[in-house]
Structure 1
Amino acid sequence: MAPTPEPAQPIRSVQYALRVLETVARHRDGVGEELLSQEAGIEAAQLQPLLRMLRGEGYVEMHEDAVYTVGESLLMLGVGGDHRRVLQERLQDTLTDLRDAVGAAVYFSRYKDGELETTQFADSPAAPAVNQWVDFRSAVHATAIGKCLLSQLDHDGRKDHLARHKAARLTSRTITDERLLLSTLDRQPPTVPTLDLQEYAVGTVCAAVPITAGSSVSCLALSLPVDQAHRLRRAAEALSRRAAPVMLSLSL
Protein backbone atom coordinates (compact mmCIF):
# COMPACT_ATOMS: atom_id res chain seq x y z
CA MET A 1 0.00 0.00 0.00
CA ALA A 2 1.36 3.42 -0.94
CA PRO A 3 2.10 5.75 1.99
CA THR A 4 -0.37 8.54 2.70
CA PRO A 5 0.91 11.88 1.30
CA GLU A 6 2.24 14.11 4.06
CA PRO A 7 -0.28 16.96 3.58
CA ALA A 8 -3.14 14.51 4.28
CA GLN A 9 -1.84 13.76 7.77
CA PRO A 10 -3.42 16.82 9.50
CA ILE A 11 -6.87 15.62 8.43
CA ARG A 12 -6.28 12.21 9.95
CA SER A 13 -4.80 13.82 13.07
CA VAL A 14 -7.93 15.93 13.55
CA GLN A 15 -10.17 12.88 13.23
CA TYR A 16 -8.13 11.10 15.90
CA ALA A 17 -7.97 14.22 18.09
CA LEU A 18 -11.75 14.51 18.10
CA ARG A 19 -11.99 10.90 19.23
CA VAL A 20 -9.54 11.62 22.05
CA LEU A 21 -11.53 14.67 23.17
CA GLU A 22 -14.79 12.74 23.12
CA THR A 23 -13.22 10.02 25.25
CA VAL A 24 -11.69 12.45 27.75
CA ALA A 25 -15.00 14.31 28.04
CA ARG A 26 -16.75 11.08 29.07
CA HIS A 27 -14.42 10.72 32.08
CA ARG A 28 -15.12 13.69 34.34
CA ASP A 29 -12.60 12.46 36.93
CA GLY A 30 -9.89 11.95 34.34
CA VAL A 31 -8.63 9.06 32.26
CA GLY A 32 -5.20 7.46 31.99
CA GLU A 33 -3.38 6.89 28.72
CA GLU A 34 -3.91 3.13 28.61
CA LEU A 35 -7.68 3.35 28.97
CA LEU A 36 -7.78 6.39 26.70
CA SER A 37 -5.92 4.45 24.01
CA GLN A 38 -8.32 1.51 24.33
CA GLU A 39 -11.55 3.51 24.29
CA ALA A 40 -10.47 5.89 21.51
CA GLY A 41 -9.10 3.02 19.44
CA ILE A 42 -5.75 4.76 18.92
CA GLU A 43 -2.38 3.07 19.41
CA ALA A 44 -0.09 4.48 22.10
CA ALA A 45 2.51 5.61 19.53
CA GLN A 46 -0.15 7.68 17.74
CA LEU A 47 -1.73 8.91 20.96
CA GLN A 48 1.40 10.57 22.36
CA PRO A 49 1.79 13.30 19.69
CA LEU A 50 -1.98 13.92 19.74
CA LEU A 51 -1.92 14.50 23.48
CA ARG A 52 1.05 16.86 23.11
CA MET A 53 -0.87 18.88 20.53
CA LEU A 54 -4.07 18.92 22.60
CA ARG A 55 -2.18 19.97 25.73
CA GLY A 56 -0.38 22.69 23.79
CA GLU A 57 -3.71 24.04 22.53
CA GLY A 58 -5.24 23.85 26.02
CA TYR A 59 -7.89 21.32 25.03
CA VAL A 60 -6.77 18.74 27.62
CA GLU A 61 -4.83 18.93 30.87
CA MET A 62 -2.51 16.32 32.36
CA HIS A 63 -2.46 15.95 36.13
CA GLU A 64 0.20 14.63 38.50
CA ASP A 65 -1.45 11.22 38.66
CA ALA A 66 -0.97 10.88 34.87
CA VAL A 67 -4.64 11.28 34.02
CA TYR A 68 -6.14 13.64 31.47
CA THR A 69 -9.15 15.90 31.85
CA VAL A 70 -10.86 18.47 29.63
CA GLY A 71 -8.78 21.64 29.34
CA GLU A 72 -9.71 25.29 29.75
CA SER A 73 -9.78 26.06 26.02
CA LEU A 74 -12.34 23.34 25.37
CA LEU A 75 -14.42 24.44 28.35
CA MET A 76 -14.40 28.05 27.10
CA LEU A 77 -15.54 26.98 23.66
CA GLY A 78 -18.65 25.56 25.28
CA VAL A 79 -19.59 28.84 26.96
CA GLY A 80 -22.34 30.40 24.85
CA GLY A 81 -21.38 33.84 23.58
CA ASP A 82 -17.68 33.31 24.34
CA HIS A 83 -17.34 30.64 21.63
CA ARG A 84 -16.55 33.04 18.79
CA ARG A 85 -14.14 35.12 20.86
CA VAL A 86 -12.28 32.10 22.19
CA LEU A 87 -12.08 30.59 18.72
CA GLN A 88 -10.64 33.81 17.29
CA GLU A 89 -8.10 34.04 20.10
CA ARG A 90 -7.05 30.41 19.67
CA LEU A 91 -6.74 30.91 15.92
CA GLN A 92 -4.65 34.07 16.33
CA ASP A 93 -2.30 32.29 18.74
CA THR A 94 -1.98 29.42 16.27
CA LEU A 95 -1.26 31.78 13.35
CA THR A 96 1.42 33.51 15.42
CA ASP A 97 3.04 30.16 16.21
CA LEU A 98 2.87 29.19 12.53
CA ARG A 99 4.44 32.50 11.50
CA ASP A 100 7.40 31.85 13.77
CA ALA A 101 7.66 28.20 12.72
CA VAL A 102 7.72 28.81 8.96
CA GLY A 103 9.36 32.24 9.02
CA ALA A 104 6.68 33.92 6.92
CA ALA A 105 3.50 35.94 7.23
CA VAL A 106 0.56 33.54 7.65
CA TYR A 107 -3.09 34.08 6.75
CA PHE A 108 -6.42 32.36 7.43
CA SER A 109 -9.06 32.86 4.74
CA ARG A 110 -12.44 31.42 3.90
CA TYR A 111 -14.99 31.55 1.11
CA LYS A 112 -18.38 32.64 2.44
CA ASP A 113 -21.50 33.84 0.66
CA GLY A 114 -19.68 33.93 -2.67
CA GLU A 115 -16.76 36.06 -1.51
CA LEU A 116 -13.24 35.60 -0.15
CA GLU A 117 -12.67 36.71 3.42
CA THR A 118 -9.21 37.00 4.98
CA THR A 119 -10.34 37.07 8.56
CA GLN A 120 -7.03 36.87 10.45
CA PHE A 121 -3.30 36.94 9.78
CA ALA A 122 0.00 37.08 11.64
CA ASP A 123 3.00 39.05 10.41
CA SER A 124 6.05 40.79 11.87
CA PRO A 125 8.91 43.04 10.71
CA ALA A 126 10.89 39.88 9.90
CA ALA A 127 7.88 38.29 8.18
CA PRO A 128 5.97 41.15 6.50
CA ALA A 129 2.49 40.68 5.07
CA VAL A 130 1.98 41.11 1.35
CA ASN A 131 1.12 44.63 0.21
CA GLN A 132 -2.57 44.29 -0.62
CA TRP A 133 -2.51 46.70 -3.54
CA VAL A 134 -5.64 45.10 -5.04
CA ASP A 135 -8.45 43.87 -2.79
CA PHE A 136 -8.05 40.10 -2.38
CA ARG A 137 -11.79 39.72 -3.10
CA SER A 138 -11.20 41.04 -6.62
CA ALA A 139 -8.01 39.02 -7.15
CA VAL A 140 -9.11 35.48 -6.31
CA HIS A 141 -7.84 34.29 -9.70
CA ALA A 142 -4.33 35.60 -9.01
CA THR A 143 -3.60 34.71 -5.39
CA ALA A 144 -2.66 31.40 -3.81
CA ILE A 145 -5.43 32.01 -1.26
CA GLY A 146 -8.04 32.61 -3.93
CA LYS A 147 -7.05 29.67 -6.12
CA CYS A 148 -6.94 27.35 -3.12
CA LEU A 149 -10.48 28.39 -2.17
CA LEU A 150 -11.77 28.11 -5.74
CA SER A 151 -10.25 24.64 -6.03
CA GLN A 152 -12.54 23.53 -3.19
CA LEU A 153 -15.68 24.66 -5.06
CA ASP A 154 -17.45 22.64 -7.72
CA HIS A 155 -17.28 23.65 -11.39
CA ASP A 156 -20.47 25.72 -11.22
CA GLY A 157 -19.26 27.53 -8.12
CA ARG A 158 -16.02 28.47 -9.85
CA LYS A 159 -17.84 29.64 -12.97
CA ASP A 160 -20.21 31.72 -10.87
CA HIS A 161 -17.36 33.45 -9.06
CA LEU A 162 -15.43 34.22 -12.25
CA ALA A 163 -18.61 35.59 -13.84
CA ARG A 164 -18.91 38.09 -10.98
CA HIS A 165 -15.18 38.88 -10.74
CA LYS A 166 -13.48 39.17 -14.11
CA ALA A 167 -9.89 37.98 -14.14
CA ALA A 168 -7.83 41.16 -14.52
CA ARG A 169 -4.13 41.07 -15.39
CA LEU A 170 -2.21 42.20 -12.30
CA THR A 171 1.28 41.13 -13.41
CA SER A 172 2.75 39.54 -16.52
CA ARG A 173 2.29 36.14 -14.83
CA THR A 174 -1.41 36.48 -14.02
CA ILE A 175 -3.68 33.91 -15.69
CA THR A 176 -6.61 35.80 -17.17
CA ASP A 177 -7.95 33.20 -19.62
CA GLU A 178 -10.96 31.59 -17.90
CA ARG A 179 -10.58 28.24 -19.64
CA LEU A 180 -6.93 27.99 -18.69
CA LEU A 181 -7.67 29.03 -15.11
CA LEU A 182 -10.48 26.46 -14.76
CA SER A 183 -8.26 23.78 -16.28
CA THR A 184 -5.49 24.66 -13.82
CA LEU A 185 -7.92 24.41 -10.90
CA ASP A 186 -9.21 21.05 -12.16
CA ARG A 187 -5.66 19.68 -12.15
CA GLN A 188 -4.80 20.99 -8.66
CA PRO A 189 -4.37 17.98 -6.33
CA PRO A 190 -6.13 18.61 -2.99
CA THR A 191 -3.05 17.45 -1.06
CA VAL A 192 -0.57 19.74 -2.85
CA PRO A 193 -0.10 23.43 -1.85
CA THR A 194 -1.46 26.00 -4.30
CA LEU A 195 1.21 28.47 -5.40
CA ASP A 196 1.28 32.10 -6.54
CA LEU A 197 4.58 32.92 -8.20
CA GLN A 198 4.32 36.71 -8.62
CA GLU A 199 0.84 36.41 -10.16
CA TYR A 200 -0.69 38.87 -7.68
CA ALA A 201 2.26 41.17 -6.98
CA VAL A 202 5.74 41.48 -8.43
CA GLY A 203 8.26 40.66 -5.74
CA THR A 204 6.03 38.31 -3.72
CA VAL A 205 5.43 34.56 -3.81
CA CYS A 206 2.69 32.77 -1.86
CA ALA A 207 1.38 29.31 -1.07
CA ALA A 208 -1.91 28.07 0.37
CA VAL A 209 -3.21 24.77 1.76
CA PRO A 210 -6.87 23.81 2.19
CA ILE A 211 -8.42 23.52 5.64
CA THR A 212 -10.94 20.71 5.82
CA ALA A 213 -13.54 21.24 8.54
CA GLY A 214 -17.05 20.07 7.74
CA SER A 215 -18.57 21.86 4.76
CA SER A 216 -16.61 25.11 5.21
CA VAL A 217 -14.28 26.30 2.46
CA SER A 218 -11.14 27.76 4.01
CA CYS A 219 -7.37 27.73 3.80
CA LEU A 220 -4.09 28.69 5.40
CA ALA A 221 -1.58 30.66 3.36
CA LEU A 222 1.85 32.25 3.63
CA SER A 223 3.76 34.89 1.70
CA LEU A 224 7.45 35.47 1.13
CA PRO A 225 9.56 38.08 -0.68
CA VAL A 226 10.65 36.75 -4.06
CA ASP A 227 14.30 36.63 -2.97
CA GLN A 228 13.20 33.87 -0.56
CA ALA A 229 11.30 31.92 -3.20
CA HIS A 230 13.64 28.97 -2.68
CA ARG A 231 11.99 28.52 0.75
CA LEU A 232 8.41 28.52 -0.54
CA ARG A 233 7.73 24.85 -1.12
CA ARG A 234 9.36 23.69 2.09
CA ALA A 235 7.54 26.39 4.08
CA ALA A 236 4.24 25.39 2.46
CA GLU A 237 4.79 21.74 3.38
CA ALA A 238 5.55 22.77 6.97
CA LEU A 239 2.38 24.88 7.01
CA SER A 240 0.35 21.89 5.86
CA ARG A 241 1.87 19.59 8.47
CA ARG A 242 1.05 22.09 11.21
CA ALA A 243 -2.53 22.78 10.03
CA ALA A 244 -4.13 20.28 12.41
CA PRO A 245 -4.76 22.73 15.31
CA VAL A 246 -6.59 25.10 12.94
CA MET A 247 -8.71 22.27 11.51
CA LEU A 248 -9.44 21.05 15.03
CA SER A 249 -10.56 24.43 16.36
CA LEU A 250 -12.89 24.88 13.38
CA SER A 251 -14.34 21.42 13.96
CA LEU A 252 -15.27 22.01 17.59
Structure 2
Amino acid sequence: MSTSPQSVDRALEILDTVADAAEPVGAKELARRLGCSLSTVYHLLGPLTARGHLVRTADGYAPGPRVAALHRSFQRRLGFGPGVAEVLPRLRRATGAEAYFTAYRDGRITVVDTTAPVTDTAHPFTPGPEPRAHATAHGKALLAALPRAVRRRYLADHGMARLTDRTITSAERFEAELARVRGRGFAVSVGEADPAYTCLAVPLPGAGADFRADGVVRALSVSLPTGDFRRRHGELRAALARAAAGLAARP
Protein backbone atom coordinates (compact mmCIF):
# COMPACT_ATOMS: atom_id res chain seq x y z
CA MET A 1 0.00 0.00 0.00
CA SER A 2 1.32 3.43 -0.91
CA THR A 3 2.16 5.68 2.01
CA SER A 4 1.90 8.94 0.08
CA PRO A 5 -0.11 11.69 1.82
CA GLN A 6 -2.89 11.33 -0.77
CA SER A 7 -3.08 7.58 -0.22
CA VAL A 8 -3.21 7.97 3.55
CA ASP A 9 -5.88 10.66 3.25
CA ARG A 10 -8.00 8.44 1.01
CA ALA A 11 -7.69 5.50 3.39
CA LEU A 12 -8.88 7.71 6.25
CA GLU A 13 -11.70 9.02 4.08
CA ILE A 14 -12.79 5.42 3.48
CA LEU A 15 -12.83 4.80 7.23
CA ASP A 16 -14.85 7.98 7.85
CA THR A 17 -17.33 7.14 5.08
CA VAL A 18 -17.92 3.61 6.34
CA ALA A 19 -18.17 4.79 9.97
CA ASP A 20 -20.74 7.47 9.14
CA ALA A 21 -22.91 5.24 6.93
CA ALA A 22 -26.05 3.62 8.34
CA GLU A 23 -25.42 0.45 6.29
CA PRO A 24 -22.38 -1.31 4.79
CA VAL A 25 -20.86 0.56 1.85
CA GLY A 26 -19.80 -1.16 -1.37
CA ALA A 27 -16.47 -0.59 -3.07
CA LYS A 28 -18.09 1.01 -6.11
CA GLU A 29 -19.91 3.49 -3.90
CA LEU A 30 -16.67 4.28 -2.06
CA ALA A 31 -14.92 4.92 -5.38
CA ARG A 32 -17.74 7.25 -6.40
CA ARG A 33 -17.59 9.20 -3.16
CA LEU A 34 -13.80 9.45 -3.18
CA GLY A 35 -13.69 10.34 -6.85
CA CYS A 36 -11.07 7.73 -7.67
CA SER A 37 -10.82 4.43 -9.52
CA LEU A 38 -12.23 1.17 -8.21
CA SER A 39 -8.75 -0.39 -8.34
CA THR A 40 -7.44 2.36 -6.03
CA VAL A 41 -10.25 1.68 -3.55
CA TYR A 42 -9.54 -2.05 -3.53
CA HIS A 43 -5.84 -1.29 -3.08
CA LEU A 44 -6.69 0.68 0.08
CA LEU A 45 -9.35 -1.72 1.35
CA GLY A 46 -6.90 -4.62 1.45
CA PRO A 47 -4.74 -3.50 4.40
CA LEU A 48 -7.71 -1.86 6.16
CA THR A 49 -9.54 -5.21 6.26
CA ALA A 50 -6.35 -7.19 6.97
CA ARG A 51 -5.70 -5.04 10.06
CA GLY A 52 -9.30 -5.34 11.25
CA HIS A 53 -10.29 -1.70 10.80
CA LEU A 54 -12.95 -2.81 8.29
CA VAL A 55 -14.78 -6.05 7.54
CA ARG A 56 -16.24 -7.14 4.23
CA THR A 57 -19.86 -8.28 4.36
CA ALA A 58 -22.26 -9.48 1.70
CA ASP A 59 -23.61 -5.92 1.45
CA GLY A 60 -20.33 -4.01 1.52
CA TYR A 61 -17.76 -2.81 4.03
CA ALA A 62 -18.47 -2.11 7.70
CA PRO A 63 -16.36 -1.11 10.74
CA GLY A 64 -14.15 -3.96 11.94
CA PRO A 65 -13.16 -5.31 15.37
CA ARG A 66 -10.05 -3.16 15.64
CA VAL A 67 -12.32 -0.10 16.02
CA ALA A 68 -13.49 -1.32 19.43
CA ALA A 69 -9.92 -1.55 20.72
CA LEU A 70 -9.12 1.94 19.45
CA HIS A 71 -12.26 3.29 21.12
CA ARG A 72 -11.39 1.70 24.47
CA SER A 73 -7.87 3.13 24.30
CA PHE A 74 -9.28 6.56 23.45
CA GLN A 75 -11.70 6.44 26.38
CA ARG A 76 -9.00 5.33 28.81
CA ARG A 77 -6.66 8.15 27.82
CA LEU A 78 -9.41 10.71 28.40
CA GLY A 79 -10.09 9.46 31.93
CA PHE A 80 -13.04 7.16 31.28
CA GLY A 81 -12.35 4.71 34.09
CA PRO A 82 -14.50 2.36 36.19
CA GLY A 83 -15.89 5.26 38.22
CA VAL A 84 -17.36 7.03 35.21
CA ALA A 85 -18.60 3.74 33.76
CA GLU A 86 -20.59 3.20 36.97
CA VAL A 87 -21.80 6.79 37.36
CA LEU A 88 -23.36 7.24 33.91
CA PRO A 89 -26.03 4.50 34.17
CA ARG A 90 -26.66 5.44 37.81
CA LEU A 91 -27.28 9.04 36.77
CA ARG A 92 -29.58 7.81 34.00
CA ARG A 93 -31.62 5.77 36.48
CA ALA A 94 -31.80 8.63 38.99
CA THR A 95 -32.92 11.29 36.52
CA GLY A 96 -34.56 9.51 33.60
CA ALA A 97 -32.33 11.65 31.37
CA GLU A 98 -29.52 10.47 29.11
CA ALA A 99 -26.10 11.01 30.71
CA TYR A 100 -22.77 11.88 29.08
CA PHE A 101 -19.06 12.03 29.82
CA THR A 102 -17.30 14.63 27.67
CA ALA A 103 -13.75 15.91 27.45
CA TYR A 104 -11.57 18.61 25.90
CA ARG A 105 -8.09 17.73 24.67
CA ASP A 106 -5.76 19.27 22.09
CA GLY A 107 -8.28 21.66 20.56
CA ARG A 108 -11.14 19.16 20.33
CA ILE A 109 -14.24 18.49 22.40
CA THR A 110 -15.57 14.93 22.34
CA VAL A 111 -18.59 13.10 23.68
CA VAL A 112 -16.60 10.17 25.09
CA ASP A 113 -19.54 8.02 26.22
CA THR A 114 -23.28 8.23 26.79
CA THR A 115 -26.18 6.17 28.08
CA ALA A 116 -28.19 6.85 24.90
CA PRO A 117 -28.74 3.54 23.07
CA VAL A 118 -26.42 2.95 20.12
CA THR A 119 -29.53 2.15 18.06
CA ASP A 120 -30.96 5.64 18.66
CA THR A 121 -29.42 7.27 15.61
CA ALA A 122 -31.79 10.24 15.89
CA HIS A 123 -30.49 11.26 19.32
CA PRO A 124 -28.87 14.72 19.04
CA PHE A 125 -25.84 13.98 21.26
CA THR A 126 -23.85 10.90 20.27
CA PRO A 127 -20.29 9.72 20.99
CA GLY A 128 -17.65 11.33 18.83
CA PRO A 129 -16.44 14.83 17.94
CA GLU A 130 -18.72 17.61 19.23
CA PRO A 131 -18.88 20.35 16.57
CA ARG A 132 -21.54 22.34 18.47
CA ALA A 133 -19.71 22.87 21.77
CA HIS A 134 -20.63 26.56 21.96
CA ALA A 135 -24.31 25.58 21.93
CA THR A 136 -24.23 22.68 24.40
CA ALA A 137 -24.05 22.60 28.18
CA HIS A 138 -21.12 20.18 28.20
CA GLY A 139 -19.27 22.40 25.72
CA LYS A 140 -19.86 25.48 27.87
CA ALA A 141 -18.72 23.66 31.02
CA LEU A 142 -15.50 22.56 29.33
CA LEU A 143 -14.75 25.88 27.63
CA ALA A 144 -15.41 27.80 30.85
CA ALA A 145 -12.67 25.76 32.55
CA LEU A 146 -10.04 26.46 29.88
CA PRO A 147 -7.51 29.28 30.03
CA ARG A 148 -8.84 32.25 28.06
CA ALA A 149 -6.18 32.01 25.34
CA VAL A 150 -6.90 28.32 24.78
CA ARG A 151 -10.64 28.98 24.68
CA ARG A 152 -10.29 31.82 22.18
CA ARG A 153 -8.15 29.64 19.94
CA TYR A 154 -10.77 26.87 20.11
CA LEU A 155 -13.59 29.23 19.11
CA ALA A 156 -11.51 30.74 16.32
CA ASP A 157 -10.84 27.27 14.93
CA HIS A 158 -14.38 25.90 15.26
CA GLY A 159 -16.57 28.97 14.92
CA MET A 160 -19.93 29.68 16.56
CA ALA A 161 -22.52 28.61 14.01
CA ARG A 162 -26.15 29.56 14.61
CA LEU A 163 -27.98 26.25 15.09
CA THR A 164 -31.29 27.53 16.49
CA ASP A 165 -32.72 30.94 17.30
CA ARG A 166 -31.36 30.50 20.84
CA THR A 167 -27.73 29.85 19.89
CA ILE A 168 -25.22 32.37 21.21
CA THR A 169 -23.04 33.50 18.31
CA SER A 170 -21.51 36.66 19.79
CA ALA A 171 -18.07 36.19 21.36
CA GLU A 172 -18.82 38.90 23.94
CA ARG A 173 -22.13 37.33 24.96
CA PHE A 174 -20.51 33.91 25.08
CA GLU A 175 -17.76 35.12 27.44
CA ALA A 176 -20.46 36.55 29.70
CA GLU A 177 -22.27 33.22 29.61
CA LEU A 178 -19.11 31.36 30.57
CA ALA A 179 -18.53 33.76 33.46
CA ARG A 180 -22.00 32.78 34.72
CA VAL A 181 -21.09 29.10 34.33
CA ARG A 182 -17.98 29.56 36.48
CA GLY A 183 -19.95 31.54 39.04
CA ARG A 184 -22.77 29.07 39.56
CA GLY A 185 -20.80 25.87 38.94
CA PHE A 186 -22.96 24.41 36.18
CA ALA A 187 -23.88 25.09 32.55
CA VAL A 188 -27.24 24.91 30.80
CA SER A 189 -28.28 25.01 27.16
CA VAL A 190 -32.01 25.41 26.51
CA GLY A 191 -32.62 24.52 22.88
CA GLU A 192 -29.36 26.10 21.68
CA ALA A 193 -28.03 23.04 19.84
CA ASP A 194 -31.35 21.29 19.18
CA PRO A 195 -34.65 23.13 19.65
CA ALA A 196 -36.32 20.16 21.32
CA TYR A 197 -33.60 19.42 23.89
CA THR A 198 -32.09 21.02 26.95
CA CYS A 199 -28.84 19.87 28.51
CA LEU A 200 -27.14 20.54 31.85
CA ALA A 201 -23.48 19.97 32.66
CA VAL A 202 -20.99 20.27 35.49
CA PRO A 203 -17.20 20.34 35.11
CA LEU A 204 -15.63 17.49 37.00
CA PRO A 205 -13.73 18.63 40.11
CA GLY A 206 -10.19 19.81 39.53
CA ALA A 207 -10.87 20.72 35.89
CA GLY A 208 -8.40 23.58 35.84
CA ALA A 209 -5.69 21.62 37.61
CA ASP A 210 -6.31 18.64 35.32
CA PHE A 211 -5.79 20.85 32.28
CA ARG A 212 -2.47 22.12 33.53
CA ALA A 213 -1.37 18.56 34.30
CA ASP A 214 -2.44 16.64 31.18
CA GLY A 215 -4.17 19.09 28.84
CA VAL A 216 -7.57 17.45 29.44
CA VAL A 217 -10.75 18.92 30.95
CA ARG A 218 -13.75 16.70 31.67
CA ALA A 219 -17.47 17.20 32.29
CA LEU A 220 -20.59 15.26 33.22
CA SER A 221 -23.94 16.16 31.66
CA VAL A 222 -27.54 15.11 31.04
CA SER A 223 -30.04 15.95 28.30
CA LEU A 224 -33.81 15.70 28.09
CA PRO A 225 -36.77 17.26 26.29
CA THR A 226 -37.04 20.95 27.16
CA GLY A 227 -40.55 20.62 28.58
CA ASP A 228 -39.34 18.09 31.14
CA PHE A 229 -36.39 20.29 32.10
CA ARG A 230 -38.58 23.24 33.03
CA ARG A 231 -40.32 21.11 35.67
CA ARG A 232 -37.23 19.34 37.00
CA HIS A 233 -34.20 21.61 36.68
CA GLY A 234 -33.50 21.73 40.43
CA GLU A 235 -33.66 17.97 40.76
CA LEU A 236 -31.38 17.47 37.76
CA ARG A 237 -28.76 19.93 39.01
CA ALA A 238 -28.69 18.20 42.39
CA ALA A 239 -28.27 14.76 40.78
CA LEU A 240 -25.41 16.01 38.61
CA ALA A 241 -23.69 17.61 41.59
CA ARG A 242 -23.95 14.38 43.59
CA ALA A 243 -22.57 12.32 40.70
CA ALA A 244 -19.62 14.68 40.21
CA ALA A 245 -18.89 14.72 43.95
CA GLY A 246 -18.97 10.92 43.97
CA LEU A 247 -16.37 10.77 41.22
CA ALA A 248 -14.17 13.26 43.07
CA ALA A 249 -14.32 11.13 46.22
CA ARG A 250 -13.04 8.00 44.47
CA PRO A 251 -9.34 7.20 44.98
TM-score w.r.t. length of structure 2: 0.59
For structure 1, the residue ranges without an aligned partner over 5 or more in a row are: 1-80
Letter in 1 for 2:237: A
Cα deviation for residue 206 of structure 1 reads 0.5
Cα deviation for residue 113 of structure 1 reads 0.9
Q: Give deviations 1:16-58, integer Å, cap 9, x for gaps.
A: xxxxxxxxxxxxxxxxxxxxxxxxxxxxxxxxxxxxxxxxxxx
Q: Which residue of 2 aligns with 1:168?
A: 161
Between 1:228-237 and 1:106-115, the stretch displaced more is 228-237
TM-score w.r.t. length of structure 1: 0.58
Q: Which residue of 1 aligns with 2:44?
A: none
Letter in 2 for 1:101: A
Q: Secondary structure at the match of 1:243?
A: helix
Q: For residues 122 and 202 of structure 2, what CA distance do their matches in structure 1 show?
A: 17
Q: Are 1:242 and 2:235 counterparts?
A: no
Q: For residues 225 and 148 of structure 1, what CA distance do their matches in structure 2 show?
A: 20
Q: Which residue of 2 aligns with 1:233?
A: 234
The 3 A distance-change label for structure 1 pair 171 and 103 is same
8 Å CA contact 2:104, 2:218 repeated in 1? yes
Letter in 2 for 1:147: K
Q: Which one of 122, 125, 140 corresponds to residue 133 of structure 2?
A: 140
Cα deviation for residue 193 of structure 1 reads 1.8
Q: For residues 129 and 189 of structure 1, what CA distance do their matches in structure 2 show?
A: 31
Q: For residues 139 and 153 of structure 2, what CA distance do their matches in structure 1 show?
A: 14
> Could you say which structure has the greater relative contact order, defined with CA pairs below 8 angstroms and 6 or more residues apart?
1
8 Å CA contact 1:203, 1:226 repeated in 2? yes
Q: Which residue of 2 aligns with 1:224?
A: 224
8 Å CA contact 2:168, 2:174 repeated in 1? yes
Cα deviation for residue 124 of structure 1 reads 5.7
Q: Which residue of 1 aligns with 2:124?
A: 131
Q: Percent identity?
A: 32
| Aligned pairs for 1:183-194 within 5 A | 183-194=176-187
For structure 2, the residue ranges without an aligned partner over 5 or more in a row are: 1-72, 212-216
The 3 A distance-change label for structure 1 pair 234 and 130 is farther
Q: For residues 205 and 122 of structure 2, what CA distance do their matches in structure 1 show?
A: 24
Q: Give deviations 1:193-229, integer Å, cap 9, x for gaps.
A: 2000000001101100010244141110000112202
Q: Which residue of 2 aligns with 1:105?
A: 98
What value does the CA root-mean-square deviation take over the aligned residues? 3.0
8 Å CA contact 1:129, 1:223 repeated in 2? no
Q: For residues 232 and 106 of structure 1, what CA distance do their matches in structure 2 show?
A: 15
Cα deviation for residue 93 of structure 1 reads 2.2
Would you say how many aligned residue pairs link Structure 1 and Structure 2? 167
Letter in 1 for 2:223: S
The 3 A distance-change label for structure 1 pair 111 and 105 is same
Q: For residues 87 and 200 of structure 1, what CA distance do their matches in structure 2 show?
A: 25
The 3 A distance-change label for structure 1 pair 113 and 158 is same
8 Å CA contact 1:149, 1:218 repeated in 2? yes
Q: Which one of 188, 199, 218 corresponds to residue 195 of structure 1?
A: 188
